[in-house]
Amino acid sequence: MPPDRVTVVIPTYNERENLPDISKAVTVHGYELLVVDDASPDGTGDLADRLATEDPRISVLHRSSKEGLGPAYAAGFDRALEDGADIVIEMDADFSHDPADLPRMVDAIGEGADLAIGSRYVPGGSTPDWPFTRRVISKGGNLYARVMLGIPTRDATAGFRAFRAGALRSLPYREAQSSGYAFQVEMAMRAHERGLNVVEVPIRFRDRTRGTSKMGTGIVIEAMRLVTVWGWKRVAGGVRLWGR
């Protein structure tokens, strides 16, 4: 896969401290970088514009307000596909996802995956910075999603993903019901519904060292509520995905 046919989409909100380094770490692989900024008040968008003038592999999509992760990714996916990307990757700006793993995600698509998920919960994956309680909560949430939705993905909440362009076009990401991190669960569910080849690539997930996490109680509540609603709809409709 020619590297310039790979676009990495990074949504930003107040990520000025991380943006220069994450931009270099992505573009060193030769990949295109699309920064989707939700009108960050700390000047992240202006900094992204300056970086784009210095490196033609960087482009910026400015959004007028902070509407959540799902809408930001949907806008970024549209732009990446319009610009002709063959592989579209989503990742965070804070180095919790290691840019050194990007070629492994691209290779997974090259080997036949439609969606490659950077997974903390398959053999080889880890969360070395997390306390025991956080691991239990995260693994419990993913187990709940697996059982309720009938999907085999062990890390459905993961935000480090690579999509084959054709597979991404087949997903209803513009009509997603979730605006927060439940967007990731929803896209995993929709991918399995459509019979896409979903693989999990083990990664080491690290906590951010700069900036402030965007994860909050409201995001967790939205995710649990939606997973429960989707799960009951699946049961009521007699739909079974896992092992079909």
Q: What is the tens place of the pLDDT at every residue in 16-75?
A: 999 999 999 999 999 999 999 999 999 999 999 999 999 999 999 999 988 888 999 999
Rounded (10°) angle between helices 182-193 and 132-149: 30
Greatest CA separation for the chain: 54
User: Which helix (DSSP H) or strand (DSSP E) does residue 200 occupy?
Assistant: strand 198-202
**pLDDT, position 244:** 45
**Is the per-residue pLDDT at 234 higher than 90?**
no
pLDDT-derived band at 225 (thresholds 50, 70, 90) equals confident
pLDDT at 241: 55
Q: Which residues pair with 9 in a beta bridge?
A: 34, 90
For residue 204, give the DSSP letter: B
**Structure tokens of 75?**
């806008």
3-class SS string, 147-189:
HHHCCCCCCCCCCCEEEEHHHHHHCCHHHCCCCCCHHHHHHHH
What is residue 22's predicted lDDT score, i.e. its pLDDT? 97
Question: What is the pairing mode between strands 32-37 and 58-62?
Answer: parallel
Residue 13 is predicted with a pLDDT of: 94
pLDDT at 243: 46
Domain boundaries, the chain: 3-237
Average per-residue pLDDT for the chain:
91
Q: Which of 130, 243, 142 is nearest to 188 (CA)?
A: 142
**CATH, range 3-237:** 3.90.550.10
Smallest CA-to-CA distance from 156 within 185, 181, 189 is with 185
What are the tens digits of pLDDT across the range 137-149?
889 989 999 999 9
| Structure confidence at residue 219 (pLDDT) | 66
DSSP 3-state assignment of 32?
A: strand
